[in-house]
C-alpha cells in the first residue's frame, strides 16, 4: 500500500498495519458478481436454509405472508448495508478503522471487540453446520461409523468438524483472492443443487405436494401476538440474521471497484436471491412432509433421505462450500481485522485469524450439547441486539455528524487534538450512547412482557443508538465548509 494514495504521512504504529491501511482504488478488484455471491452464500448456508424453512412453519402465517416478510427483510438489509458500505468504498478502509471516527482512535477497540466476539460465535456455529455436510459425505462413502457420542457428536461428526476447521484456516491463509474464487463458484453451484433437490422431492411427493403446499400457504396455527406481530417477527428475525454482516460490511465493500457495482450486487444478492431461495426452500419443506412424514428443515437431513448417492455427494460438497465461503467472509475475516486492530504493531490479520479459529473451535463443538438449547430465533435476535446500537452510532456519526467526510490521516493519528482523539482516544459520548441503547435492545429479547418486541430488537436498537449518539454529538457536527475540505486523495 502506498500511503501517498491517501496522503497518510504521519502514521502511529499502534494504529496501523498493512491489513488496516486504506486500500488504493487500483487494488480493488470486486464487481457486482462478487458482492452478489457474498449474499448468495450467506443465504444458501445450511444455517440460513434452516432459518428460512423454520420461519414458514413457526409463526402460523400463510406462505405468501412469510415470503413477503423475508423479501421485505432483504430490502431493509440492502438499505442498511448501502449505508455502511458507502464510506468503505469511498475511502478503502475496513470496519475497525471506520469505527474510529465515531468511537475514537482507541475507543474503536470496543466495537471491534464486541463485533469480534459476535463473529467468533457465528464462525463456530457455521463451522458446525458446514461439518454436517462433510459428515453426510463421509457416511455416504464409508458407512455410518460408531454411534457413541461425545458432546452430542459421533466419531464421524468429530472427524468432519476437524476437517472443516482445518480447511477454513488453510483457505484464509491463502488470502482474499482465493476466498473470492471459492465464493464465485460455490454460490451458483448451490442454486443448481437446490433446484435438483426440489425436483427430486417434487417427483417423490407427486400430486400430494399440492396439498402440503396448500397447508403451508393457508397459514395453519397461531402466533400469540397476532398476524401483524408474526409478520414483524419474520422480518425482524431475518434482519437480525444478517446483523453480523451489516455492521462490518465495509470489511469487504472496500474491495469493490465503485459504489454502483456494490448497489447492483446488493440488490441481486439480497431481495432477489432471498425470494428465489426462500421459495425453493418452501417447496422442499412441504415436500418432506409428504415424502418422509415429517417436516425437515436441515438440507443435509433431506438429502440423506432422498437415497440418491450422486445427488448426496454433490449436495454435501456444495452446501459445505457455501457455508464455508460465507463463514470466511462474514465471520472469519472481520474478527481477524478486529483482533488486529487491538494491537496492529504486534498482531496481523493472519494472527487474528488463528486466534479466531482457536476460540471458535470450542463454540462449534458445544453447539449441539449446549448452545443450540437457546433456540435459533433467540440466538439470532440476541446477537443482533448487541450489534444494533453500534451500527446506529457509526452510521449516524458518518452521515449526520461528519457529513460523509473523513480525515483519513487522523484515523491513523494518536496526536492529542487530532480529529478523532476525543478524550485520550475515547469518545465517551458514543460509549454512553451504546450503553443506554444496548440495555434496551437486549432487554427487548429476554425481558418478560417485551416478547412482542423481540423481532424488532435489531432495528429498534440501531435507531435508538443513532438518535442518542446524534443528540449527544450535535454540538460537534462538522460544518459544511469544513467537511468539503476532507475529501480522499488519490
Tell me the mean pLDDT in the region 425-451: 83
pTM for this structure?
Answer: 0.82
Of residues 483 and 57, the one with the higher pLDDT is 57
389-400 confidence digits (pLDDT tens) = 999 999 999 999
User: What pLDDT is recorded for position 384?
Assistant: 65
User: What pLDDT is recorded for position 488?
Assistant: 47
Measured between alpha carbons, how far is 297 from 216 in angstroms, rounded to an integer?
Answer: 14
User: What pLDDT is recorded for position 489?
Assistant: 39
Per-residue DSSP letter, 69: H
CB 309 within 8 A of CB 28: no
- Alpha carbon 146 to its chain's center: 35
Average pLDDT over the chain reads 82
CB 360 within 8 A of CB 437: no
- pLDDT interval class at 329 (50, 70, 90): confident
- pLDDT interval class at 166 (50, 70, 90): very high
Measured between alpha carbons, how far is 77 from 69 in angstroms, rounded to an integer?
Answer: 12
Tell me the mean pLDDT in the region 10-26: 81
- pLDDT interval class at 296 (50, 70, 90): confident
User: What pLDDT is recorded for position 1?
Assistant: 39
User: What pLDDT is recorded for position 9?
Assistant: 58
- pLDDT interval class at 2 (50, 70, 90): very low
User: What pLDDT is recorded for position 221?
Assistant: 57
CB 155 within 8 A of CB 148: yes
Q: Is 38 a residue whose pLDDT tops 90? A: no
Residue with cell 463485533: 115
Measured between alpha carbons, how far is 241 from 77 in angstroms, rounded to an integer?
Answer: 10
Count the Cβ atoms, other than its own, within 10 Å of residue 366. Answer: 17
Angle at 339 between CA 336 and CA 342, to 5 degrees: 150
Q: Is 432 a residue whose pLDDT tops 90? A: yes
Tell me the mean pLDDT in the region 289-297: 79
- pLDDT interval class at 379 (50, 70, 90): low
345-363 confidence digits (pLDDT tens) = 888 888 988 999 999 999 8
C-alpha cell at 114: 464486541
- Alpha carbon 296 to its chain's center: 24
User: What pLDDT is recorded for position 477?
Assistant: 75
Q: Is 62 a residue whose pLDDT tops 60? A: yes
Q: Which domains does the chain have, with CATH numbers?
A: 22-373 (1.10.4160.10)
Tell me the mean pLDDT in the region 29-34: 92
Measured between alpha carbons, how far is 198 from 273 in angstroms, rounded to an integer?
Answer: 16
Q: Is 101 a residue whose pLDDT tops 90? A: yes
Tell me the mean pLDDT in the region 255-278: 93
Measured between alpha carbons, how far is 326 from 334 in angstroms, rounded to an integer?
Answer: 12
Q: What percent of the chain has pLDDT over 90?
A: 27
Measured between alpha carbons, how far is 220 from 477 in angstroms, rounded to an integer?
Answer: 52
User: What pLDDT is recorded for position 451?
Assistant: 60
Of residues 436 and 7, the one with the higher pLDDT is 436
Question: Distances from the Cα of 76 to the Cαs of 72, 395, 459, in angstroms?
Answer: 6, 15, 10
Give the H or E element holding residue 432: helix 428-446
C-alpha cell at 216: 403451508
Q: Is 127 a residue whose pLDDT tops 50? A: yes
Give which of 57, 118, 99 is closest to 382, Cα–Cα.
118
Count the Cβ atoms, other than its own, within 10 Å of residue 177. Answer: 10
User: What pLDDT is recorded for position 207?
Assistant: 84
Angle at 208 between CA 203 and CA 209, to 5 degrees: 60
Q: What percent of the chain has pLDDT over 70?
A: 88
Q: E-assigned strands of 357-458?
A: none
Give which of 43, 56, 45, 50 is closest to 277, Cα–Cα.
43
Amino acid at each position: 500500500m502506498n500511503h501517498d494514495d491517501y496522503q497518510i504521512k504521519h502514521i502511529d504504529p499502534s494504529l496501523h498495519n498493512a491489513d488496516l491501511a486504506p486500500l488504493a482504488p487500483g487494488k480493488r478488484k470486486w464487481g457486482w458478481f462478487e458482492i452478489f455471491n457474498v449474499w448468495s452464500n450467506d443465504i444458501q448456508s445450511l444455517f440460513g436454509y434452516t432459518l428460512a424453512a423454520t420461519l414458514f412453519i413457526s409463526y402460523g402465517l400463510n406462505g405468501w405472508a412469510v415470503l413477503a416478510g423475508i423479501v421485505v427483510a432483504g430490502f431493509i438489509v440492502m438499505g442498511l448495508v448501502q449505508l455502511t458500505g458507502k464510506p468503505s468504498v469511498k475511502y478503502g478502509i475496513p470496519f475497525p478503522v471506520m469505527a474510529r471516527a465515531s468511537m475514537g482512535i482507541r475507543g474503536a477497540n470496543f466495537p471491534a471487540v464486541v463485533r469480534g466476539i459476535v463473529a467468533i460465535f457465528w464462525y463456530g456455529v457455521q463451522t458446525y453446520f458446514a461439518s454436517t455436510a462433510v459428515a453426510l459425505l463421509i457416511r455416504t462413502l464409508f458407512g455410518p461409523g460408531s454411534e457413541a457420542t461425545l458432546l452430542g457428536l459421533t466419531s464421524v461428526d468429530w472427524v468432519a468438524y476437524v476437517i472443516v476447521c482445518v480447511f477454513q484456516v488453510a483457505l484464509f491463509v491463502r488470502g482474499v483472492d482465493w476466498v473470492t474464487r471459492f465464493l464465485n463458484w460455490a454460490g451458483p453451484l448451490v442454486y443448481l443443487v437446490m433446484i435438483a433437490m426440489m425436483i427430486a422431492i417434487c417427483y417423490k411427493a407427486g400430486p400430494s405436494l399440492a396439498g402440503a403446499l396448500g397447508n403451508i400457504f393457508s397459514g395453519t396455527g397461531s402466533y400469540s401476538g397476532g398476524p401483524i406481530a408474526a409478520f414483524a417477527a419474520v422480518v425482524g428475525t431475518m434482519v437480525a440474521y444478517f446483523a453480523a454482516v451489516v455492521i462490518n460490511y465495509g470489511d469487504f465493500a472496500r474491495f469493490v471497484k465503485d459504489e454502483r457495482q456494490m448497489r447492483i450486487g446488493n440488490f441481486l444478492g439480497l431481495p432477489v436471491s432471498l425470494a428465489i431461495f426462500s421459495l425453493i426452500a418452501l417447496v422442499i419443506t412441504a415436500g418432506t412432509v409428504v415424502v418422509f412424514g415429517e417436516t425437515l428443515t436441515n438440507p443435509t437431513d433431506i438429502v440423506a433421505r432422498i437415497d440418491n448417492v450422486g445427488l448426496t455427494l454433490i449436495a454435501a460438497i456444495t452446501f459445505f462450500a457455501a457455508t464455508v465461503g460465507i463463514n470466511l467472509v462474514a465471520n472469519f475475516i472481520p474478527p481477524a481485522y478486529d483482533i488486529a486492530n487491538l494491537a496492529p504493531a504486534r498482531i496481523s490479520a493472519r494472527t487474528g485469524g488463528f486466534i479466531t479459529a482457536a476460540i471458535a473451535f470450542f463454540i462449534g463443538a458445544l453447539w449441539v450439547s449446549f448452545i443450540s438449547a437457546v433456540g435459533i430465533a433467540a440466538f439470532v435476535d440476541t446477537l443482533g441486539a448487541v450489534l444494533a446500537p453500534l451500527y446506529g452510532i457509526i452510521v449516524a456519526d458518518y452521515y449526520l455528524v461528519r457529513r460523509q467526510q473523513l480525515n483519513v490521516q487522523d484515523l491513523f493519528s494518536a496526536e492529542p487534538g487530532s480529529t478523532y482523539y476525543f478524550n485520550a482516544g475515547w469518545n465517551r459520548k458514543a460509549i454512553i450512547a451504546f450503553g443506554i441503547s444496548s440495555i434496551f435492545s437486549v432487554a427487548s429479547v429476554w425481558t418478560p412482557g417485551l416478547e412482542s418486541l423481540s423481532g424488532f430488537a435489531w432495528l429498534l436498537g440501531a435507531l435508538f443508538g443513532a438518535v442518542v449518539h446524534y443528540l449527544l454529538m450535535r454540538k460537534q457536527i462538522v460544518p459544511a465548509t469544513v467537511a468539503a475540505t476532507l475529501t480522499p486523495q488519490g
